[in-house]
Structure 1
Amino acid sequence: MEIKGIHHVSAITANAKNNHHFYTEILGMRLVKKTVNQDDTSVYHLFYADEAGNPGTDFTFFEIPNAGHTYPGSSSISTTSLRVPNDQALEYWLQRLQKYSVEHDEITEQYGRKILPFRDPEGQRLSFVSDENNQGVAGGKAWNRSPVSVEKGIHGLGPVKLTVKDPQPTEQVLTELLTFKKAGTYSSASDSKDDTLVFSTAEGGTGAEIHLETNPDLPRERPGRGSVHHVAFRVQDEEELVLWENRIREARIPNSGLVDRFYFKSLYFREPNGILFELATDGPGFATDEDINHLGESLALPPFFENQRDEIEAKLKPLDTTRPHS
């Protein structure tokens, strides 16, 4: 039993159409699945990823049309990072963000890597991270029909930052329940002490790290549009997920039990600071019900919702995700 790395991050948007434009046309990610929130089928669940939706590359969004403003704070997933091939790619992205008037900071260094922090139009806290010196979990493969070249494109999720008031309970879950090991520390601000702990699992590297920032002065985050709902970690298959379910139950941590998301199997639980964790299997994947060349172009529904398709489609706002050059 070993957590293999980051599986996906799921966030909140108030506008699926604008969200789709930003992540596909500006960031150049591929929409690999247009489906619905399985807990509320009246709204979309959009999956952006590499060319095939490989595990470790998925950044997903639940559409909540009436989602309010996010008030950033503790007990939160406070930054999602996106992997790019090298330091040179960050220079390209700096120019591209400027071209499209995307709010951003300057290129800097964090934990020995070059990064470029930025925000999406709803304030989603993001950061490009360079894989120039990555020796760990390999990234995916950027989509060759993206508006961004493969040589510069996003090919996976990088370290996910959590912000908490007290790191000890979260650290205990990461290291004693899951399979993360403390790998180092760094300062999140130039004038402060090392306030961020780095935890790594399996092969390590940019695709297998959690960064745990301590800030005791922050109020608890009030999530809304532009916030992150949960982070998911990779497990090999359903057989291993059952073992994890037993382990979490033995630790007396409330959990969802196994949940069939069709494209993968999942299990959810909250760590002591209230952050929602998911364990998700690597397969079967997004080509299960669509041709690999046409992922995300039409509304995909798991078999257990197919008999409700007419009713579900009637409630959804139309969202054109076809590509004229397909």
Structure 2
Amino acid sequence: MPFQTSGLHHVTAIGGDPRRNADFYLRALGLRLVKTTVNFDDPGTYHLYYGDESGRPGTLLTFFPWPDAPTGRRGTGQATTTAFSVPAPSIGWWRDHLTAAGVDVGPVVERDGENVLTFSDPDGLELALVAHPQGDPRSPWDNGHVPAEHAIRGLHSVTLSVTREDATAGMLTEDLGLRLAGEEGDRFRFAAGEGGPGATVDVLVTPDAPRGLVAAGTVHHVAWRAPDEPTQAAWRDELLGRGVGVTSIMDRQYFRSIYFREPGGTLLEIATDEPGFQIDEPLLELGRALKLPPWLEPHREQIEAVLPKLDVPAENDLERA
């Protein structure tokens, strides 16, 4: 395979009430809302992007929050756990912090030499905080809700649940350029490059689990990084040549995207690192205003009329943090 991803770009999930969603990710988890826009295919709902200070690839969890969305079901054919990276000494702090916020957290467990704390967001999306023993060099988003020394550094990994691993493993290694980095029971770890936080996917074999249902509280797709548009276009041609069903290149304003499914059923994306989130608002004000693509701008008044107002804390603006 001539193309290799450098790691995760973002994870996109389905949420319920957008105000509850923003409150949890901004205040309980201390992420920054780096872009407030809409689902380009359904502009009657938001598309909310949470990440670090500038929304760098590898730090992003995004949501399509539908207030009346039915509850989904975790199962095979899905990314069933989204994990964030935190400093090793901070797991205990996070357990106490989340408990105080009313979140039902599990015990801290050790897996692959890392401490893992698992919990769910208000819609039931399964999340984890992972402390990598060698640390994570990425800078945190320094805000008023989570002290910088404990703050999330970015995505750590995702877990794909499958009924069998062979075909999924083949796509991860042959089409995304990942390598098998470890195996423990029914869990297989794959890594991009040197691996570590932001460059890892676990494949969990659960043959007796039900098939997942994508709705509120589940992951819609997992995106992997491509450095630029020419690389993405060549990558798409390579995938098509290998018989993979791939979409056309789609303009997502802040990156370009192609989509395809891995054999186990999870929807994957290859997204470009460019152009980023500062193309339509300055770094200091990311996420504060509703941003629409040019083709939806003429309908702004109608779109704003149906979207609920979000309570975005002042600390989301750098100049007020």
User: Structure 1: any 5+ residue segments left out of the alignment?
Assistant: 187-193
The alpha-carbon deviation at position 139 of structure 1 amounts to 5.2
Q: Where does 1:211-290 land on structure 2 (aligned, <5 Å)?
A: 211-290=202-281
The alpha-carbon deviation at position 132 of structure 1 amounts to 3.1
The alpha-carbon deviation at position 72 of structure 1 amounts to 2.0
Structure 2 equivalent of residue 81 of structure 1: 83
Would you say 1:295 and 2:286 are equivalent positions? yes
Larger deviation: 302-311 or 233-242? 302-311
Would you say 1:93 and 2:91 are equivalent positions? no
Q: Find the residue that maps to 2:115 and give its secondary structure.
A: strand
The alpha-carbon deviation at position 145 of structure 1 amounts to 2.2
Would you say 1:34 and 2:36 are equivalent positions? yes
Q: Find the residue that maps to 1:247 and give its secondary structure.
A: helix
Distance 2:103 2:311 in 1: 23
After TM superposition, the runs of 4+ consecutive aligned structure 1 residues lying more than 4 A away are none
Deviations 1:276-308 (A, max 9, x none): 000001111111111101111110112232222
Distance 1:265 1:69 in 2: 29
Structure 1 equivalent of residue 153 of structure 2: 155
Distance 1:34 1:46 in 2: 5
Q: Find the residue that maps to 2:139 and give its secondary structure.
A: coil
Structure 2 equivalent of residue 56 of structure 1: 58
Structure 2 equivalent of residue 179 of structure 1: 177
Distance 2:52 2:12 in 1: 15
The alpha-carbon deviation at position 322 of structure 1 amounts to 5.4
Contact 2:113–2:133 (CA<8 Å) still a contact in 1? no
Structure 1 equivalent of residue 303 of structure 2: 312
- Gap change, CA 1:258 and 1:139, over 3 Å in 2: farther
Contact 1:298–1:321 (CA<8 Å) still a contact in 2? no
- The one-letter code of the counterpart of 1:153 is A
The alpha-carbon deviation at position 107 of structure 1 amounts to 1.0
- The one-letter code of the counterpart of 2:250 is V
Larger deviation: 88-97 or 61-70? 61-70
Q: Find the residue that maps to 2:6 and give its secondary structure.
A: coil
Would you say 1:131 and 2:132 are equivalent positions? yes
The alpha-carbon deviation at position 27 of structure 1 amounts to 0.7
Distance 1:202 1:262 in 2: 28
- The one-letter code of the counterpart of 2:201 is I
Deviations 1:211-267 (A, max 9, x none): 000011011012221100000001111010011110111112211111110101111
Structure 1 equivalent of residue 104 of structure 2: 103
Distance 2:4 2:261 in 1: 19
Contact 2:17–2:68 (CA<8 Å) still a contact in 1? no
TM-score under structure 1 normalisation? 0.93
Q: Find the residue that maps to 1:174 and give its secondary structure.
A: helix
How many pairs does the alignment contain? 315
Q: Find the residue that maps to 1:154 and give its secondary structure.
A: coil
TM-score under structure 2 normalisation? 0.95
User: Structure 2: any 5+ residue segments left out of the alignment?
Assistant: none
- Gap change, CA 1:146 and 1:242, over 3 Å in 2: farther
Larger deviation: 62-71 or 195-204? 62-71
Percent identity between the aligned chains? 39
Distance 1:54 1:167 in 2: 30
Q: Find the residue that maps to 1:121 and give its secondary structure.
A: coil
Deviations 1:160-195 (A, max 9, x none): 000010111111111111101111112xxxxxxx10
